[in-house]
Amino acid sequence: MTYKLLGANVSPFVRKCRAYMAEKGIAYDYEQVSPFAPPEGYKKISPLGKIPAFLDGDKALADSTAICIYLERCNPQPALYPGDHYQYARALWFEEYIDSGLIPIAGPQVFRPLVLAPMMSQQPVTKEGKAEVLKVVETAIHPMWEYLESELASNQFYVGNVLSIADLTVASGHISLRHAGVEPDAKRWPKLAAFLQRMYARPSFAALLAEESERWDKRQALAKI
C-alpha cells in the first residue's frame, strides 16, 4: 500500500513532511490540496481542515509532527528522531519552536503580505507594506534567529550533532521566508545562515526548492525588500 500525502507545496508543514520522506527514502503519492478549497470529505482525514494530511491505506492522520512520528515508527532507519530520551524531546521542542513560534509569524505577517497578496492582486507591495513587514522581521524574527544561532553553537545540526527532524523543520520553515526574500544575514547570524545553505543543498531540499522556485521566485521579485 502506497502512502499518500495531501497538501500544497507552499505550506512549510507539508514541506517538512516531504523533506522528511525524501531523507528517509520513503515513496509516496502526493495529492495537491488547498485548505481553502479542500475536496469533499477532507475533514474526515484532517478534522481541522489543515494541510498536510496523510493516508496509509485506510489509516488517516493529520498534523506534520504526528505524520512524521508515525512514519518514523513504521520506518525506523535512518533514524530522524533521536533515540536518547532528552534528545528526542529536544527534537520535538525545535519542531514546536518553528511550527508554533516562527511559522505563525513568518506565514501571515511576512509570506502573505510580501508574496501571496501581491500575487493575488498583481500589484507590487507598497512602501508602507514593506516597512510594516520589516518591523515584524526586526522585532519578531530577529530574536528567533538569535536563539537559533546560539542553539547551533559549533555544531552542524541542532540535536546531537546529527541530522534530525529538528533540522528539517528549521529549514522547512525558513524556505517560506526565503520565498519572501527574507533570510538571515550571514554577517550577523553566520552559523544559522551557513546551516540553512547546507540544508538547502541536500538533495531532499534541493528537489523541493527546484519544484517551488519555479512557482514562487517570480512572486518574490514583486516583494523584494
Ligand X SMILES: N[C@@H](CCC(=O)N[C@@H](CS)C(=O)NCC(=O)O)C(=O)O
CB of 13 to ligand X, least distance (A): 4
Q: Are 156 and 199 in contact (CB under 8 A)?
A: no
Rounded to whole angstroms, how far apart are CA atoms 15 and 7? 9
C-alpha 179/C-alpha 110 separation (Å) is 10
Binding positions for ligand X, rule: CB under 6 A: 11, 13, 35, 49-52, 63-65, 99
- If the CB atoms of residues 89 and 186 are measured against ligand X, the closer one turns out to be 89
Q: What's the min distance (Å) between Cβ of 216 and ligand X? A: 14
Beta pairing partners, 30: 5
- Least distance to ligand X from the beta carbon of 49, Å? 5
Give yes or no for a contact between 10 and 180, defined as CB atoms under 8 angstroms apart. no
Closest approach of Cβ 52 to ligand X, in Å? 6
Q: Which helix (H) or strand (E) holds 6?
A: strand 3-7
Nearer to ligand X, 36 or 153 (CB): 36
Q: What is the DSSP letter of 1?
A: -
Distances (CA, A) of 110 to 15, 118, 155, 225: 18, 12, 29, 11
Decide whether 6 or 144 has the Cβ nearer to ligand X.
6
Nearest CB to ligand X, comparing residues 43 and 135: 43
| Residue in the shown chain whose Cβ atom is closest to ligand X | 50
To ligand X, the closest distance from the beta carbon of 64 in angstroms equals 3
Shorter beta-carbon distance to ligand X: residue 64 or 204: 64
> 20: closest CA among 171, 216, 195?
171
**Closest CB 8 distance from ligand X, rounded Å:** 8
User: Can the peptide bond before residue 78 be classed as cis, meaning omega within 30 degrees of 0?
Assistant: yes
* Least distance to ligand X, CB of residue 131, Å: 25
- Residue 159, C-alpha cell as written in the block: 540535536
CA distance 166 to 124: 35
For residues 45 and 193, which CB has a smaller minimum distance to ligand X in the complex?
Answer: 45
Phi, psi of 61 (to 5 degrees): -140, 150
Judged by beta carbon, residue 14 or residue 193, the one nearer ligand X is 14
Q: What is the three-class DSSP state of 188?
A: coil
